[in-house]
Amino acid sequence: MAAVSPIPWSYSRVVPAASPSIDHLALTWRSLDDLLATLSEEEWKLPTGCPGWSVQDNVAHLIDYEARALGRPGPEHVPTDVAHVKNPLGEGNEVGVDFRRDRSGEEVLAELREVTAARLAQLQSLTADDLAREIETPAGPGTLADMLTLRVMDTWSHEQDIRRALDRPGHVDGPAALESVTYFARYLPLVVAKRAGAPDGTTVVVEIGDLHRAVVAVDGGRGRPLDDAPADPTVRLTMPVTTFAALVGGRSDAPDDVVVDGDRELGAAVIAVLGFLP
């Protein structure tokens, strides 16, 4: 392995992190490091369900984002193959990914370790005032705290892309997984009412492994979350956490294992439009 020390996961703090998302990021980076350290060079190059990206490309994307968050300039590079890119966000992501494609997995892992160790040190220095600062996020106007949730979601999602490609499931419970799935679930009212066109009076329950249950009611053409599930919802969708992550990301390798109880036509319509991430 490259002569770079792994991230010091045994770090301790004198005071708690300003946001639990910081610890959740650290947890996900550790989970990724443990997995990636075991890979052969052939496994680094395996394709994933993220269009056009290999295992290595997913890692390169995470490196590129965190390096830019550290204030490091992005590479001056023009990608050669952008057939799988669909939007401006994807175009920007592809620069740092393609820039690292001719490197070995060992080199990419060494860079991931260096960048995430530096990023963790930066994040640990944040205060509550820092987190409340208003910024523009990929999801629109928000705060730095909102951006950290997006970083947890993005990092965990790409870890799941990698694990599906390797057939090495894991990290589908715990706080980082819960923060990610909870973030995704906030969009389900829009998915059910607008994208799937569920009629007024509809209730949809989405059971996501043992991690989260989302309940959506449709009224006046709008979806709204409910705290409790009715005894007899219009449709109930039950799926593993890994399947939910793949479906909301629009991944080509999303498993076909959702159990639909109730209105099967509506259930199929919701499943078909779950891919709402850009």
211 shares a domain with 132? no
Residue 221 buriedness (CB in 10 A; 0-12 / 13-18 / 19+):
exposed
The CATH number linked to 106 is 1.20.120.450
277 within domain boundaries = no
The residues that bridge with 137 in the sheet, in sequence order, are 140
Indicate whether 156 and 255 sit together in one domain.
no
In sequence order, the β-bridge partners of residue 261 are: 236
Domain shared by 106 and 210, yes or no: no
User: For the chain, what is the total number of helices (H) and then of strands (E)?
Assistant: 11, 7
Token output for 169: 């499931």
106 with 144, same domain: the answer is yes
pTM score: 0.91
End-to-end Cα distance, the chain:
35
Report the distance separating Cα 211 and Cα 171, nearest Å. Answer: 11
Q: pLDDT tens per residue, the chain (278 residues)?
A: 333 444 444 434 434 578 999 999 999 999 999 999 999 999 999 999 999 999 999 999 999 999 999 999 988 887 887 768 677 676 777 888 999 999 999 999 999 999 999 999 999 999 999 999 999 998 889 999 999 999 999 999 999 999 999 999 999 999 999 999 999 999 999 999 999 999 999 999 999 999 999 999 999 999 999 999 999 999 999 999 999 999 999 999 999 999 999 999 999 999 999 998 87
Domain span including residue 245: 186-272
178 lies in a domain? no
Where helices occur in 167-239 by DSSP H, the ranges are 175-185, 188-190
Residue where the block lists tokens 């209105």: 263
Q: What CATH number is associated with residue 259?
A: 3.30.1050.10
* Same-domain check for residues 115 and 223: no
